[in-house]
Structure 1
Amino acid sequence: MTSTDSRSVLLEAPGRHRLVEGPVREPGPGEVRVRVGAAGLCGSDRELYTGTRPAQYCVYPIVPGHEWSGTVEAVGPGVPERLVGCKAVAEGFRSCGLCDRCRFGDTSLCEAGYEETGFTLPGAFADHVVLPARLLHPLSDDADLRAAALLEPAAVMAATQLRCPGLPGERVAVVGGGTLGMLGAQLYAACHPAELTVVTRNTARAERAMAFGATRLISPEEAAREAGRYDLVVETAGARSTAADSVRLARRGGRVVLTGIPAPGAVDLDPIDLVVRQIQLHTVFGAPSDAWAHAVRAFNAGLLTPAPLITAEFGLEDYAKAVEEAGRAAGKVLLVP
């Protein structure tokens, strides 16, 4: 490969991919080209590979990769030259900026239709990615790009925190011990709750959760005995029963925010219970611009430290192995070009 070439993983169809090589693309007006530092895999990347992601949220062929970080290598016309050399992450949703929801700042609810890096537009399982400069969020000069690759899920949890802030002295429960749950524990620990409980079956994550600020780690069976205990419950697991379980954990008048995508056959919420106990129920899907800014600020300030969640790294040529590992890993798997 020469300096004028760029590699990328091309997923031609579910389960069928190849590593392709071609000329480095020059950024157009308003665009930047970023040299990818690291890119993470999550459940939606596995769905894309297996063909189980809903058809309206993906296209084939596609270069996957929506969780990533890198360094700006070139800028197109109309983009400040000072961005060259800047470490950065970028939003994945390609909002139009013109519709009613975008005008209100709800860019993840853009009415122009779904477009997202790595699912419908070329992503970061590649040496380079080209995208609009308006989506960039600069990082500090000394930022760890491996850790920064986790700022996409961190932005989802930042959106959760902006939607349902934790107040000092409250009892907070985070349901789920995966990447979202661990990042959520870090962000809510910074709000100084009186109690921060993480609900998970994975006892191997106990030490990590406590290091991230949790005060208690309990199993779902133990959580079933704590109905009505918590001021705020943050659901991150997306299992069949976790939405309903999270509502049961909330006190009368408490707040519940759902971030995990429910699995097929999810247990229904009881609308009578929601009304009678006056539960404030919120949902989060993706992250608008302000949530990205919130996550990046917390990361740059050292309040968010995702690096301990990384458990494996692979090169682009080992994409299939990385997908397989991501399906069983207890932490985050990265592709590092």
Structure 2
Amino acid sequence: MSHATGSSTTRTPTPTPARTDKPVQDGIPEKMRAAVLFGPGDIRVVDREIPAFGPEEVLVRVAMCGACGTDLKILAGHFPQTPPFGEYTPGHEWTGTVAAVGENVDEFRPGDRVCIEAHHGCGRCANCVTGKYTACLNYGDVSKGHRASGMTTDGGFAEYAVHHVAALYRLPDHLSPEDGVLITTAGTGLYGLDAAQSYIVGQDVAVFGPGAVGLMTVQMCRLMGASKVILAGTRKSRLDLGLELGADHVVDVTAEDPVEKILELTGGAGLDLTIEASGGPDTPQFCVDVTKRGGKILFVAFYPGKVEFDLSSAIRKDITMYTSRGEGGNNVERAVALAASGQLQGERLVTHHFPLEDIEEAFRVIKERDGDPLKVVIVP
């Protein structure tokens, strides 16, 4: 299935063709610069061959690639199923221009601007057939057609990247590369709302964590008709931006008790839906405490380790909890449509640009929060 036009919430299984990698074509250099992970904390920009691509794959000249908290885990060597050190290029939030296409690709042509979803499922397992390809049962098995760009296969911290045609979307001309990077992030929030079966018109919703995922999700909750959108976090600059992007109220958890404040804002009833996008180990308990009886909690964050919270309290309140990973269910295409209409703002979240050669400095800035980074992008 192509994502150049149309939309669908499921994917039909397609056989994986025999791989006949296509060599570099005229006008495309034989070598490129790429960031390669040589060991925990050891990422270097080196010369690599332009990647070959299969009959259903597309070679893209990368314009920009975002860096996020998941990349910090990858950089530290704490992310599962990545390729071997010394061979692997991370980067899973990228956008660019089509340079060449595989022999079976007619949905795109060289010169088309594209954005991506990182995950392409195998297309043949039970989860992929029902649109849950971020939970592909053949996750990490390239031989069966699965690829997660920048996670289980080489990604976008490079001048060129390869991806399956089904995981590419045409980027409208009036949207910037920065918008294209954040569209992938927006797909994560939309998929979470989709997975939680959250028809939130008229409901009270809170988002914990004003990072890129949280801020894009705030915008979507506003667009989807939530009655009250509350954003909770620790950094004033991000909370202020959240107000500009659609939050009705913000809660600085360093200055006030988030449970007391959110219960006050909801008249003591609590939230219909609480979205956990912070990854803070203490936040799941806050979520339980502020969610009303019979409400929902959606977890979209990754955590640095195991978390503890009062599960019995959630059970007594008859709270339903959901998790979702990545940007499944064709929700990136929906995010493209929202961005194209001007209703979803991504570029405003980008605070720092670094050339590929300075990727080590970019990660230092993210880790040390130097200069209050929100979304850092790498430009090859």
Instruction: In structure 2, give the amino acid aligned to 1:29.
Output: P
State the alpha-carbon separation in 2 of the partners of residues 281 and 246 from structure 1.
10
- Cα 1:230–1:13, aligned 2, differ >3 Å: closer, same or farther? same
Q: Does 1:277 align with 2:339?
A: no
Deviations 1:18-45 (A, max 9, x none): 3222443453311111111110101121
Query: In 1, Cα distance between the equivalents of 2:115 and 2:310?
Result: 36
Question: What secondary structure is seen at the aligned counterpart in 1 of 2:360?
Answer: helix
Q: Say whether the 8 Å CA contact 2:101–2:108 is kept in structure 1.
A: no
State the Cα deviation string for residues 274-330 of structure 1 (Å, max 9, x = none): 222211211111121422222222222222111111111111110100111122143
Question: Which residue does the alignment assign to 2:299?
Answer: 258
Structure 1 window deviating more from structure 2 (309-318 vs 203-212): it is 203-212
Q: Does residue 119 of structure 2 align to residue 79 of structure 1?
A: no
2:246 alignment counterpart? 213
- Structure 1 residues 81 and 240 mapped into 2: Cα distance closer, same or farther (>3 Å)? closer
Post-superposition offset of 1:3:
5.7
Kept in 1, the 8 Å contact 2:350–2:375? The answer is yes
**Aligned positions, number:** 334
Q: Which moved more, 1:284-293 or 1:210-219?
A: 284-293
1:187 is matched with which residue: 208, 220, 238? 220
1:98 equivalent in structure 2? 124
Structure 2 match to 1:60 = 85
| Structure 2 counterpart of 1:229, one-letter code | G
Give 3-state SS (helix, strand or coil) of 1:199's partner: strand
User: Letter of the aligned partner of 1:317 in structure 2?
Assistant: E
Measure, in 2, the Cα distance between the counterparts of 1:50 and 1:22: 22
Q: TM-score, normalised by structure 2?
A: 0.83
Question: What aligned pairs does 1:148-159 form with structure 2 within 5 A after superposition?
Answer: 148-159=180-191
What aligned pairs does 1:1-337 form with structure 2 within 5 A after superposition?
Answer: 4=29, 5-51=31-77, 53-57=78-82, 59-61=84-86, 62-80=88-106, 82-114=108-140, 115-164=147-196, 165-220=198-253, 221-225=256-260, 226-227=262-263, 228-270=269-311, 272-327=312-367, 328=369, 329-337=372-380
For the aligned residue pairs, the C-alpha RMSD in angstroms reads 1.9
CA distance in 2, matches of 1:105, 1:314: 35
Distance 1:269-1:298 versus aligned 2 partners, 3 A rule? farther
Inter-partner Cα distance in structure 2 for 1:81 and 1:98: 21
Aligned counterpart, 2:18: none
CA distance in 2, matches of 1:245, 1:57: 33
- 3-state SS of paired residue (2:289): helix
| Aligned mates of 1:28, 1:58 — CA distance in 2 | 19
Question: SS of the counterpart of 1:83?
Answer: coil
Cα contact 2:158–2:356 (8 A) shared by 1: yes
> Residue type matched to 1:299 in 2?
A
Q: What's the offset of the Cα at 1:265?
A: 4.2
Question: Which secondary structure state, in structure 2, belongs to the residue aligned with residue 152 of structure 1?
Answer: helix
Whether the 8 Å contact between 1:310 and 1:334 is mirrored in structure 2 is: yes
Distance 1:181 1:117, change over 3 A: same
Given that residues 86 and 141 in structure 1 are in contact (C-alpha distance below 8 angstroms), is that contact kept between their aligned partners in structure 2?
A: no
Distance 1:291 1:58 in 2: 27
User: 2:170 & 2:282 partners in 1: Cα distance?
Assistant: 38
Residues of 2 paired with 1:162 and 1:55: CA distance? 26
Q: Which residue matches 2:9?
A: none
1:150 is paired with a residue whose SS is helix
What is the TM-score of this pair, normalised by structure 1?
0.93
Distance 1:298 1:330, change over 3 A: same
CA contact (8 A) 2:192 2:325 kept: no
CA distance 1:77–1:184, change in 2 (3 Å): same
Unmatched segments (≥5 aa) in structure 1 = none
Segment of structure 1 superposing worse, 77-86 or 213-222:
77-86
In 2, distance between residues paired with 1:237 and 1:81?
37
SS of the residue corresponding to residue 141 of structure 1 reads coil
